Amino acid sequence: MNVSYRWLSEYIDLNGIEPQRLAELLTRGGIEIDAVQSRNQGVSKTVVGYVKHKEKHPDADKLNVCTVDAGLGEDLQIVCGAPNVAAGQKVPVALVGAKLPGDLSIKKTKLRGVESQGMICSARELGINDKLLPKELQEGILVLPADTPVGTDILEVLGLDDAVLELDLTPNRSDCLSLLGVAYEASALTGRPLTLPEPEKELYATADKTTDHVGVAVEARDLCSHYAARYIKGVKIGPSPLWLQNRLIAAGIRPISNVVDITNFVMLEYGQPLHAFDAAKVAGGRIGVRLAREGETLVTLDGQTRKLEPHMLLITDAEKPIALAGVMGGLNSEVSDDTVDIVLESARFDGGSVRKTSRQLGLRSEASARFEKEVDPSRVRGALDRAAALMARYAGGVVTEGVAEEIVSAPEPAVVEVALDRVNGLLGTSLSTLEVKTIFSRLQFPAAEVADGAWRVTVPTRRGDMRRDVDLIEEIARLHGYDEIPTTRIEGPTTTGALTKSQAIRRELRRLLAEAGLYEAVSYSVTSPANAALFPELSGGESVRPIPLAMPMSEERSVLRTSLLPNLAEAAVYNQARRTHDVALFEIAGVFHSEEAALTTLPHEKPRLAFLLTGNRRAAAWNRTAEPVDFFDAKGVLEAMFARLGLADSVTYEAAQPEGFHPGRTAALKLQSAQGGETIGYVGQLHPDLQREYGLGDTYVAELDLAPLYARADAQIAYRTLPRFPATERDLAVVVDAGTAGGDLVKAIRSAAGELLESARVFDVYTGERLGAGKKSVALALVYRHAERTLTDEEVAEAQQRAIQKLEQSFGAELRK
Amino acid sequence: MKDRLEALRSEALAQLQEVADPGRLNDLRVHYLGKKGQLTEVLRGMGGLSAEERPVIGQVANEVRAAIEIVIQSKQAEFERADTARRLAAETIDVSLPGKAPAPGGIHPLTKVTQEIEDIFLGMGYTVAEGPEVETDYFNFEALNLPKNHPARDMQDSFYLTEEILLRTHTSPVQIRTMQGAGGKTPLKVICPGKVYRRDDDDATHSFMFHQIEGLVVGPNIRMSDLKGTLLQFVQQMYGPQVQIRLRPSFFPFTEPSAEVDVTCTQCGGHGCRMCKHTGWIEILGCGMVHPKVLEHGGYDPREVSGFAFGMGVERIALLKYDIDDIRHFYNNDLRFLSQFARM
């Protein structure tokens, strides 16, 4: 909503309150002003001139030499290139010494040898948005009405000595979609009185009755609470007066003709949209309000054929739809230059219905924007009468007597009770009875004091947003000033702030991964269906399909992500494209799975952790060569994580071949419990095909569910006394089949060697020709210890022998000597 | 004999003074103190001495031996020190060359800011509540006093999955879930961080996915002045004790009264600059007193309790804090960007 400062000052005295100050007051009061624009874009010394003669320029085909009376006593000779300039016109003349927008200075000059003492201006040259002007005025000079007085300052004539306040309204303040609403607000904030437009006393110059010409029948009674129509006879369609056009232009609305301009003017003034029908095109003179029927269509004013749906509200005549109620008129009943009689509509349509229709058709209009937010029921008649009177005055019409109307229901003003205790209790203020009473009176809310410090407030219908006491309390607070509310501390019992276990774990993991040399990524939760299908084992398995958005903005963001890995892979590509080749990223976020083909319940939102390593673990430096990342970097990160969560011994790694991963370099992560192993994720190399598609080198990734870790993480530290007796260390090297898992050897040794074995770890793996094809040598370091005494050589030898035998039996291992 | 011993001492000491290398030192030691050395040689003549002379000469001989030994030892130590110094000099390295740091990593700036805000509120006795990002229309809108077809729904264009299920447009549904979960208990003090989604074209200042932190307090006598006090405490911890707040009336369907909150511009300290568009203030959050209908949906009686709520965009706070020019940097995961936030 754009509000002209000058127009507003017709309803409230703004003397001493400059536009900027007014904007500040309104903004601090809750009506946010986005900008204050001066309508004068830099025009000076420009006046109305009368073109007395026009002659062709002797030396230029496209130029004319005009003799112009600009009220200076002496005529001016002005050379003008506009094709539409003609003798007898009133035009804007920039005098010698004038300034025009764009830092243009007008000087006495010669054009092809002919002296020119000024410039005849177009609207654009005067800084007026000429999109708001009729086409003929966009192309040449601005032709002013014939009765414009010569010599008058153009700023005054075009209303340019004005400022426009651009309102950014919150949805509750649709009352300010009208000049009157803004005036009420300004009055409440400044305490200055209002001057409202006087209702017309003598509207009718005829005894002719409206109801003889037009009848109204509201069928859709839920969606139209009030429909009123007037009949205006014998209008002469033409341009509206300049002052009225100026008002519309200031508000950003294009002047069209007197009748249409008046409906728009009154809409801006009252906030009540009006519509004018050509009475000759309203069959039977019968206006109906009903829902559309299946298969009906209507060509709207913009020339588009609209397919109507049965929930859409229509205005009809005796035969056909003639308008989409509250949204846009029909082309078939449009006011044209030939229109003689007018049916003028002022009505109140259901906001939700208008909203639904306008959204569905993609048709937002000034009218629909107001109806959507519910118009003030008390202004339906006032606006109608105001417009009828203006049409009588400016379109030469005769208003017939009475109104054809149907009032289905007349909303009563809301009555809201509010008590001072509650006001001060909720705000933390110590307002007095008098202060609150003063605020109500500034708002012009009649308030009856029903008890000491308790009021029954009758809220005018223009403020439909006042429904409960808290609404009034906000009015009190904002008029009192939010700055005046004190600053206090919450009273009552203290509370303890703490993270939950899962929140604390998440923070710990982030810290650990950052310290392990990975950067945290944040990527979008929506992705492409192709991405969502890359890692089925991580995406909920066969039965789960990605969940689509109903109306995606693009294919790339059309389904909820099922895995974090595609995003990380894309981030790696993004970085490598920018010459960052070593990428180590992790992300902690949710993925979305559902078993339902069509969602009826919320999907599973699984907290996940994923990371990606590619390029070098460490870049080459003066003292070391580059080391490319490998599987064991990724696994090492996981081991560190599980160790931090107290789960080092609970997670095992089993070779696995999930889709999207390298079949020989991938492990399933199994969280072991008494019930067995649960797969919580995978770690491995991206499948080489996928790497090639992404254009990535060897890339190692992991993704796992966090919920099982949250459940199982063990923060309890159980201290064990330090050993008092020495350990005995024994190394062991065996030759086994190349396919034998080192982890299985360790497991076997652990079970065979018994309690004396403290630890066993692989410290070397070797393959070579000497061992023969398909064989490898694994060297292990075993540590034996007894908590209570020093072990004897015999005890150790015996345990070691058991371990060896077990390896020989289970794996066909051959001891290397 | 005594004279011979004294002469031996002088000769030995004089020669030892001149010694310049450990080999010569050893030679001299053998020459004077060795089994066949000069001292032994002299002492061989002890047999011809009288019983009175013998102890006297013996003592002199011991003194001479000790004197020579002391000098030899000190010479030896001197040679060792020089040797060590030579060795260490050879081990000199260029300390200006880069070290072997562990690979750097770091958390995302949005996480950093979120944790910072969480920590401030944890210190004020709040807990952290979370809720699903895919929500029902009921929790996201209806329970927050945004019935279907309400014009205020236009403020937040949504991504629906079905008629009733959508990507949450704000973290406010967590308010309802938390209240319902609390079963009427007071006081309730939570903050709710998380991702939210709005149908918005991405540009330098808009992103269809972003992060919010919501706060909610419900209790028997919660006042708007408490809200102001809480927010002031928060911004002063976040931005410094000189920072002030300013509330402007606004509208949110789930609070009444509602306000937008401006803080003193952190860039210019309120004098006016490019960042605050020369107003001295920067809008950072929205807030208000919990609407009675919302309390009812949460299972509270608005006649018994009141509450306040506030919400802020994490990206906005981070953009301002680090003076970042484009919101899209947060989601590109460019390591040149991310690595700038890896410090305390």
In this structure, what CATH number is given to the domain that contains residue A655?
A: 3.30.930.10
Rounded to 10 degrees, the C-alpha dihedral A575/A576/A582/A588 comes to 40
What value does the mean pLDDT of chain A take?
A: 93
Residue A489 lies in a domain: no
Which two three-digit tokens encode residue A132? 């708001």
Same domain, yes or no: B22 and B113 = no
Residues 6+ apart with CB under 8 A from A117: A76, A77, A78, A95, A96, A108
Same domain, yes or no: A153 and A167 = no
> Which region among A28-32, A277-281, A350-354, A768-772 has the lowest average model confidence (pLDDT)?
A768-772
Residue B26 lies in domain: 2-90
Same domain, yes or no: A356 and A391 = yes
Q: Which residues of chain A does B132 touch, with a Cβ-Cβ cutoff of 8 Å?
A: 602, 605
Same domain, yes or no: B131 and B85 = no
The pairing of beta strand B306-313 with beta strand B281-290: antiparallel
Residue A500 has pLDDT above 80, yes or no: yes
Q: What is the per-residue pLDDT for A734?
A: 94
Which pLDDT tens digit goes with each residue over A449-496?
999 999 999 999 999 999 999 999 999 999 999 999 999 999 989 899
Residue A205 has pLDDT above 80, yes or no: no
Is any Cβ of chain B less than 8 angstroms from the Cβ of A574? yes
Q: What is the per-residue pLDDT for A202?
A: 65
Q: Minimal Cα–Cα distance from A327 to chain B, Å? A: 15
Q: What is the DSSP letter of B96?
A: T
Same domain, yes or no: B128 and B256 = yes
**Total number of domains in chain A:** 6
- How many whole angstroms separate alpha carbon A424 and alpha carbon B127? 29
Q: What is the per-residue pLDDT for B194?
A: 97
Helix runs in A586-732, H state only? 631-644, 688-694, 707-712
Same domain, yes or no: B139 and B65 = no
Same domain, yes or no: B163 and B263 = yes
Which two three-digit tokens encode residue B140? 């996201």
Which pLDDT tens digit goes with each residue over A694-714?
999 999 999 999 999 999 999
Q: Which residues of chain A does B108 touch, with a Cβ-Cβ cutoff of 8 Å?
A: 519-522
- A621 contacts B259? CB cut-off 8 A: no
Which two three-digit tokens encode residue A747? 């497991």
- A356 contacts B149? CB cut-off 8 A: yes
Express as a percent the part of chain A with pLDDT over 90: 87
- How many whole angstroms separate alpha carbon B23 and alpha carbon B11? 19
Q: What is the per-residue pLDDT for A199?
A: 67
ipTM reported for the complex, 2 dp: 0.89
Same domain, yes or no: B151 and B84 = no
Please report the residues numbered 492 through 531 in chain A whose beta carbons come closer than 8 angstroms to any beta carbon of chain B: 492-500, 503, 507, 510-511, 513-526
Residue B98 lies in a domain: no
Indicate which CATH number applies to the domain containing A433. Answer: 3.30.56.10
Same domain, yes or no: B24 and B153 = no
Indicate which CATH number applies to the domain containing A799. Answer: 3.30.70.380
Is any Cβ of chain B less than 8 angstroms from the Cβ of A592? yes
Segment A654-664 shows an average pLDDT of: 96
Q: Minimal Cα–Cα distance from A556 to chain B, Å? A: 13
Which residues of chain B, if any, have pLDDT below 70? 151, 154-156
Q: What is the per-residue pLDDT for A201?
A: 65
Q: Minimal Cα–Cα distance from B229 to chain A, Å? A: 4
Q: Compare all CA atoms of chain B with the CA of A548 and give the residue at the minimum distance.
A: B161
Same domain, yes or no: B85 and B113 = no
Best residue in A353, A522, A591 to probe B by mutation, most B CBs within 10 Å? A522
Same domain, yes or no: B53 and B168 = no
Residue B175 lies in a domain: yes
- A473 contacts B226? CB cut-off 8 A: no
Residue A562 has pLDDT above 90, yes or no: yes
Which two three-digit tokens encode residue A317? 């005549």
| A92 vs A544, more confident | A92
| Residues A16-27: b if buried by 16+ CB within 10 A, e if exposed | ebebeebbebbb
Same domain, yes or no: B113 and B75 = no
Residue A409 has pLDDT above 80, yes or no: yes
Q: What is the per-residue pLDDT for A667?
A: 97
Last residue of a domain, one of B90, B120, B151: B90
Residue A717 lies in a domain: no
Number of H helices, E strands in chain B: 12, 9
Q: Which of A179, A168, A182, A153 is nearest to A40 (CA)?
A: A153
Indicate which CATH number applies to the domain containing A333. Answer: 3.50.40.10
- How many whole angstroms separate alpha carbon A526 and alpha carbon A546? 10
Indicate which CATH number applies to the domain containing A141. Answer: 2.40.50.140
Q: What is the per-residue pLDDT for B100?
A: 86
Q: Which residues of chain B does A351 touch, with a Cβ-Cβ cutoff of 8 Å?
A: 149, 151
Q: What is the per-residue pLDDT for A605?
A: 96
Which two three-digit tokens encode residue A633? 């970097």
In this prediction the pTM is 0.88
Is any Cβ of chain B less than 8 angstroms from the Cβ of A262? no
Please report the residues numbered 421 through 440 in chain A whose beta carbons come closer than 8 angstroms to any beta carbon of chain B: 425-429
Residue B269 lies in a domain: yes
Same domain, yes or no: B66 and B147 = no
Same domain, yes or no: A235 and A309 = yes
Residue A299 lies in a domain: yes
Indicate which CATH number applies to the domain containing B229. Answer: 3.30.930.10
Which pLDDT tens digit goes with each residue over A757-811?
999 999 999 988 888 888 999 999 999 999 899 999 999 999 999 999 999 999 9
Contact B311, B290 (CB under 8 A): no
**Total number of domains in chain B:** 2
- A598 contacts B333? CB cut-off 8 A: no
Strands (DSSP E) found in A106-184: 109-111, 114-116, 119-120, 163-168
Residue A458 lies in domain: 414-480
- CB-based burial label for A423 (10 Å; 0-12, 13-18, 19+): buried
Same domain, yes or no: A35 and A48 = no
- How many whole angstroms separate alpha carbon A87 and alpha carbon A74? 17
Q: What is the per-residue pLDDT for A325?
A: 96
Which two three-digit tokens encode residue A659? 């889709």
Residue B250 lies in a domain: yes
Q: What is the per-residue pLDDT for B55?
A: 85
Residue A54 has pLDDT above 80, yes or no: yes
Same domain, yes or no: B188 and B253 = yes
- How many whole angstroms separate alpha carbon A162 and alpha carbon A7? 9
- A514 contacts B229? CB cut-off 8 A: no
